[in-house]
Amino acid sequence: MTVLVIGSIALDTLETPFGKAEELLGGAGSYFSLAASVLTPVQLVGVVGNDMPERHLETLRSHGVDLQGVQRVQNGKTFRWSGRYEYDMNVAHTLDTQLNVFGDFKPNLPESYRQTEYVYLANITPGLQLEVLKQVNNPKFVGLDSMNFWIGKPDTKKDLTEVIKRVTAVFMNDSEIRQYTGKYNLFEAARYVLSLGPQVVLMKKGEHGAIAVSREGTFVAAAYPLETVKDPTGAGDSFAGGFMGQLAHSGDTSWAGIKRAIVFGCVIASFAVETFGTDGLMQMTRDAIEQRYEILRQSTMFEALTPSTATVQIA
Ligand code: AMP
């Protein structure tokens, strides 16, 4: 099955303790598409300016990503993001965000996108995420990501809440879910988000993996143990690409299927962070993915925490 994604398509300028690079292909939509397309066909919705090098779009196309939903604005500038990571690479410091052509983007989905069953609303203005969701007929599974940039402003936070009420899975990292809910404890925060309607909350914890909370239980997945981490940009989008790609490929949206897809997400994210920009995603092979999946699968406790065991009180 195909996955449809709306999200930023960017030119990124990055700095980590291991290097610097300017105007790389980036954006949540691009990372997600490259990550998911190794597992399942991807339809991308977004917009670029006339300054987006054709070779970047060709990279996406050569990975089988359908770009019919990507508009090119002739007199516009592409979305730009620049960020810096210090030695604690779990925390991204945004230096600059320029929405540019995303500022007045009006998505109009091609007919062939409107029946797609798996939809991912990658990081972009919540109003645009909602607009895309309205144009898809009856999707089976909708994932949603966001970030502090949108959670921190009252009007975009309000739109984000409207989107959360309509999706199946919410992806946030620990600081984002704390900021959104105002609750420090992650399980309490996750339960609050579940009370708005989603079936599962996926909390990304960088090098410590991910925690999923649903009405059926709690699941803790470890990150793949890497010896080299060069650039964490796009880790969350790649995790989501692996997750959604596996879900769409298997068609299994049960709790067991979700748990397996989370492990796929951890594997795909490991390729993304090993090298700068999108290089790791471009180089990964199906065989290497299977090998890392098998290693993580063997050390994962798939049945560990049910709602009753996860909520035992000490006194
Ligand atoms: P991640 O590291 O998974 O959070 O994703 C990083 C990617 O998100 C970068 O390639 C950026 O271009 C993109 N990005 C950063 N800030 C925003 C934003 N406010 N809206 C949409 N995309 C963003």
List, for residues 242-271, the tens digit of each pLDDT value: 999 999 999 999 999 999 999 999 999 999
| 35 in Cβ contact with 3 (< 8 Å) | no
pLDDT of residue 313: 58
Gap between the Cα atoms of 136 and 146, Å rounded = 20
- Selected residue with higher pLDDT from 27 and 304: 27
pLDDT of residue 191: 96
Find the mean pLDDT for residues 182-202. Answer: 97
Gap between the Cα atoms of 235 and 273, Å rounded = 6
pLDDT of residue 315: 57
- Does residue 149 line the site of ligand 1, with CB under 6 A? yes
* pLDDT band with cut points at 50, 70 and 90 for residue 91: confident
> Closest ligand 1 atom to the C-alpha of 238?
3
C-alpha of residue 100 to centroid of ligand 1, in Å? 14
Mean pLDDT, the chain, whole residue set? 94
User: Please, which residues have CB within 8 angstroms of residue 101's CB and are 6 or more apart in sequence?
Assistant: 47, 48, 49, 73, 76, 77, 78, 79
pLDDT of residue 88: 79
Question: Ligand 1: which of 13, 85, 123 to mutate, most ligand atoms within 8 Å of CB?
Answer: 123
Find the mean pLDDT for residues 45-67. Answer: 97
pLDDT of residue 133: 97
Q: In Å, what is the CA distance from 98 to each residue of 8, 9, 153, 273?
A: 11, 12, 16, 24
Give the CB-side neighbour count of residue 214, counting CA atoms within 13 A: 21
> Closest ligand 1 atom to the C-alpha of 239?
3
Find the mean pLDDT for residues 4-15. Answer: 97
Closest protein CA for atom 5 of ligand 1? 234
- Judged against a pLDDT cut of 90, whether residue 84 lies above it is answered with yes
- Judged against a pLDDT cut of 80, whether residue 310 lies above it is answered with no
List, for residues 201-229, the tens digit of each pLDDT value: 999 998 899 999 999 999 999 999 999 89
Q: What percent of the chain has pLDDT over 70?
A: 96
Closest protein CA for atom 18 of ligand 1? 124
* pLDDT band with cut points at 50, 70 and 90 for residue 45: very high
Question: Ligand 1: which of 81, 145, 281 to mutate, most ligand atoms within 8 Å of CB?
Answer: 81
Gap between the Cα atoms of 117 and 43, Å rounded = 11
pLDDT of residue 18: 86
Find the mean pLDDT for residues 90-101. Answer: 91
List, for residues 277-309, the tens digit of each pLDDT value: 999 999 999 999 999 999 999 988 888 666 655
Closest protein CA for atom 15 of ligand 1? 81
pLDDT of residue 312: 53
Considering the entire predicted model, what is its pTM? Answer: 0.95
